[in-house]
């Protein structure tokens, strides 16, 4: 599954990812991949990858980094700053846009695939 996380610096993309990991039972450290570009996690045999493409200057860097293989039916990939690899990333199942509103945040969710639509349906109930 692929999730895109959009929103300005400080919108809460890393915090949301940390929440997802905590929700899945991961108790270890969750640090921002701003410098490493990707942080891998293994949770109950599931491979989850947290990307931050903020430092990309050119979408071609995504190809050069060899990240394409991380996106497959066996993995979960959360991508901060997907816009930085515009047109090269796989279509996201869910695109989460975070908007700062005072002390809180508004999350706008949209589905890009049938699987994503099913997730939104589940969230609604």
Residues engaged in binding Mg ion (CB under 5 A): 13-14, 32
Residue-by-residue DSSP string for 49-103: EEEE-TT-SSTHHHHHTT-GGG-STTEEEEEE-GGGGTTTSPPPSEEEEEEEETT
CA 20 to chain centre: 10
By beta-carbon proximity to ligand ADP, the closer residue of 54 and 113 is 54
* Bridge partner residues of 33 (DSSP): none
Binding partner of 9, given ligand ADP, Mg ion, none, CB within 5-8 angstroms per partner class: ligand ADP
d(CA 32, CA 84): 17
CB of 21 to ligand ADP, least distance (A): 13
Tell me the residue number closest to Mg ion, measured at CB.
Answer: 14
Residues within the interface to ligand ADP (CB under 6 A): 7, 9-15, 80, 103-105
Structure tokens at 11: 């919108």
CB of 114 to ligand ADP, least distance (A): 28
Tell me the residue number closest to ligand ADP, measured at CB.
Answer: 12
By beta-carbon proximity to ligand ADP, the closer residue of 63 and 106 is 106
């Amino acid at each position: 599954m692929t999730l895109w996380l959009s929103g300005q610096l400080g919108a809460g993309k890393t915090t949301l990812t940390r929440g997802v990991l905590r929700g899945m039972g991961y108790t270890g450290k969750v640090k921002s991949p701003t410098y490493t570009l990707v942080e891998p996690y293994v949770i109950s045999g599931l491979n989850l990858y947290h990307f931050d493409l903020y430092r990309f200057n050119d979408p071609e860097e995504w190809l050069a980094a060899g990240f394409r293989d991380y996106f497959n039916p066996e993995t979960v990939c959360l991508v901060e700053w997907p816009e930085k690899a515009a047109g090269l990333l796989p279509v996201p199942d869910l695109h989460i846009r975070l908007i700062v509103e005072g002390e809180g945040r508004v999350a706008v969710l949209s589905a890009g695939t049938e699987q994503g639509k099913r997730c939104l349906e589940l969230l609604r109930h």
